[in-house]
Amino acid sequence: MAAIEVRNLTKKFDGFTAVDNLSFDVKRGELFGLLGPNGAGKTTTINMLSTLLTPSSGRARVCGYDVVEEREDVRRNIGIVFQEPALDNKLTGKENLEFHAMMYGMNKEERGRRIREVLELVELSDKADVLVEKYSGGMKRRLEIARGLIHKPKVLFLDEPTLGLDAQTRRRIWEYIKKLNRENGVTIILTTHYMEEADYLCDRVAIIDYGKIIAMDSPKKLKDRLGGDVITFEIEEKADELADELTSVISKLRFVKSVKRHDSKLTLTVRRGEKRIPQLIIMAQKKGIDIKSVTLHKPSLEDVFLHFTGKTIREREASQRERNMYVMRRRFGR
Amino acid sequence: MINITAIYVLWLREMKRFSRAKSRVAGTLAMPLFFLAFLGLGFRGMNIPGLTEGVDYIHFLAPGVVGMTMLFTSMFAGISVLWDREFGFLKEIMVAPVDRLSIVIGRVIGGATTSVLQGILVLVLSILMGFEPASISALLLSIVFMLLISSTFIGLGLIFASKMRDIHGFSLIMNFVTFPLFFLSGALYPLENLPVWIRCISYLDPLTYGIDGLRGTLIGVSSFPALFDFAVLIGFSSVMTFLGAYFFEKSEPV
């Protein structure tokens, strides 16, 4: 039995489809990532899987329980760390954990032990009796992760677990997440718009854009699908037509898997890229195009996203924001 | 399936927050105190039409002001779900394996406890200012009425909180719901002085029976028999709590 089964899951808000016919499975013990730009529908998906939102159509099962019909069974088996803080600022860290443990029906002895354990795990033991309103952003995040773990959930949802955290805290949280998954066998499903986070943590990644899955596989296989190294040429901007010509010539070359051009950048996927750079530069010069810079790198998930959508995740976020504004304006009749 | 632990922990949370919100409590107590001081002293010894013979205005007013305290603190307790939504904590509550009814009961009991505590404080203050309740048992009996008023308006607050998306509508509700409920209830003057058509509206206001019941128990003078007030309030509080639970259940926390 899969830990999570999602079939044709859809959520519409006033005619705007946030999640569009999503289907996927997450195996037990897997660390699964939903990767996509802000507004792609990741949080809405998590909210439906954690029973906070009712799907418009489609079905989903978590630990074998239906997220609509068997809400309480689902809730008993999951832990969740929300994207925005969901703590009571007027309680201390420990009281927040105590509240949670009691809501999940743990007895006093077990509560005390688990709270000590999770506080140690996230290194907040010395701040346990401080009011949460005095915590920093990173501390709140760690407290929330600790809280999500107290009741030993079978499935843990992490919605943008490292959003807005500094590099050092992010690293630490990554290590907690890995450790949890490896040592305790917790199935983890996390959403992120950080490529390197998905790459580093996830066994499998679903790339999601405009509420749809556009690719799903292990980060390695996704990158392999691009078929080689990524070479980016930065060319002079004025040579628009010439650049088009060059793009079409390059795309006909046998060793070139794909070419994408956006603005003054030409991105190629090439096998054994380092050997092909000189040849490509000569070709460009013959066309009369000056190349300002060349970079070669092993493909990242960013390149995978670019490959499947034709846009970088940042560009997509910008256009997504515009779209959201448009929807908002329509909704409020402005 | 009622979850006692969940109800207890929700109640406990309210108690902790209450004990830490001293400035808020001082703020809520200030208004009833001013009403008692200025209206009570200002109308002292005045011959107010409709007032039962031999009842001083402060004796008439004090139960009204206790009722007012119950109204304001309870509405606030119900609507405070909105603050939980604003600060995200509502999601934490809603994702726990606890049925919605227990959550509502926990909130109502927690809110009612803090309201009644404030009501008792106001009562003590009014005694210090010259109010003389009929007896000690009268004081205890008045707590029953306080609880009923409180659960009614926490239910009403929950209904509003479930229907509103954010905290911006809060002052609207204070001005267009809470204040009219207060003025219609006869907390400050005998309802007998109002024109008949307004009096008819007053009889739809649960607080009318709450304050009348408080007067009946505290000073032994009331428009209706205290038992009648009690019965009507039982009705109001059950319906309101039920509706509050119903709308809360239907609202989505995100």
Dihedral sign, Cα of residue B194, residue B183, residue B49, residue B141: positive
Q: Which of B3, B9, B25, B89 to mutate to test the interface with A (most CBs of A within 10 A)?
A: B89
User: Does B4 contact A at CB distance below 8 Å?
Assistant: no
Instruction: Report pLDDT digits (tens) over A244-282.
Output: 888 888 888 888 888 888 778 888 888 888 888 888 888
Here the ipTM equals 0.89
**What pLDDT sits at residue A229?**
87
- CA torsion angle A218 A221 A222 A223 (round to 10): 120
Residues 6+ apart with CB under 8 A from B241: B104, B108, B151, B152, B154, B155
The three-state secondary structure class of A279 is helix
Q: Is A259 or A58 the better-scoring residue by pLDDT?
A: A58
* DSSP H helix total and E strand total for chain B: 13, 0
Question: Rounded to the nearest 5°, which phi and psi values hold at A76?
Answer: -65, -30
Angstroms from B101 CA to nearest CA on chain A: 13
Q: How many CB atoms lie within 10 A of CB A272?
A: 9
Q: Is the pLDDT at A325 greater than 80, yes or no?
A: no
Which residues in chain A have Cβ-Cβ distances shorter than 8 Å to B7?
none
| Residues B202 and B194: beta-carbon distance below 8 Å | yes
Q: How many CB atoms lie within 10 A of CB A137?
A: 13
Q: Is the pLDDT at A327 greater than 80, yes or no?
A: no
Strand order in the sheet with A204-209: A78-81, A155-159, A187-192, A31-35, A204-209, A212-217
- Nearest Cβ partner for B16 among A54, A73, A91: A91
Strand partners, A81: A158
Cα A42 to Cα A37: distance, rounded to the nearest angstrom: 9
The three-state secondary structure class of A91 is coil
Q: Is the pLDDT at A116 greater than 90, yes or no?
A: yes
Contact: B9, A103; criterion CB under 8 Å: yes
Q: Which of B170, B147, B144 is nearest to B157 (CA)?
A: B170
| Multiple choice CATH, A4-218, 3.40.50.300, 3.20.20.410, 2.40.110.10, 3.90.1300.10 | 3.40.50.300
Among A183-187, A326-330, B98-102, which is the least confidently predicted range? A326-330
**What pLDDT sits at residue A239?**
64
Cα A188 to Cα A207: distance, rounded to the nearest angstrom: 16
CATH architecture of A227-298: 2-Layer Sandwich (3.30)
Alpha-carbon distances, residue A322 vs A161, A176, A213, A316 (angstroms): 25, 36, 21, 10
Contact: B92, A100; criterion CB under 8 Å: yes
From A157, which residue of chain B is nearest by alpha-carbon distance?
B95
| Residues A104 and A64: beta-carbon distance below 8 Å | no
Q: Which of A103, A129, A149 to mutate to test the interface with B (most CBs of B within 10 A)?
A: A103
Sorting pLDDT into bands at 50, 70 and 90, what band is A315?
confident
Contact: B16, A100; criterion CB under 8 Å: no
Contact: A76, B97; criterion CB under 8 Å: yes
Question: Rounded to the nearest 5°, which phi and psi values hold at B99?
Answer: -70, 155
Delimit the CATH 3.40.50.300 region(s) of chain A. Answer: 4-218
**What pLDDT sits at residue A241?**
79
**What pLDDT sits at residue B212?**
96
Q: Is the pLDDT at A334 greater than 50, yes or no?
A: no
Query: Please, which residues 142-171 of chain A have a Cβ atom closer than 8 Å to chain B?
Result: 147
User: Does A12 contact B at CB distance below 8 Å?
Assistant: no
* pLDDT tens per residue across all 254 residues of chain B: 789 999 999 999 999 999 998 888 888 889 999 999 999 888 887 777 878 777 888 999 999 999 999 999 999 999 999 889 888 899 999 999 999 889 999 999 999 999 999 999 999 999 998 898 988 899 999 999 999 999 999 999 999 999 887 788 888 888 899 999 999 999 999 998 889 999 999 999 999 999 999 999 999 889 999 999 999 999 999 999 999 999 998 887 77
Delimit the CATH 3.30.70.100 region(s) of chain A. Answer: 227-298
Q: Is the pLDDT at A326 greater than 80, yes or no?
A: no
Instruction: Report pLDDT digits (tens) over A18-50.
Output: 999 999 999 999 999 999 888 889 999 999 999
From B85, which residue of chain A is nearest by alpha-carbon distance?
A86
Amino acid at A100: H
Sorting pLDDT into bands at 50, 70 and 90, what band is A332?
low
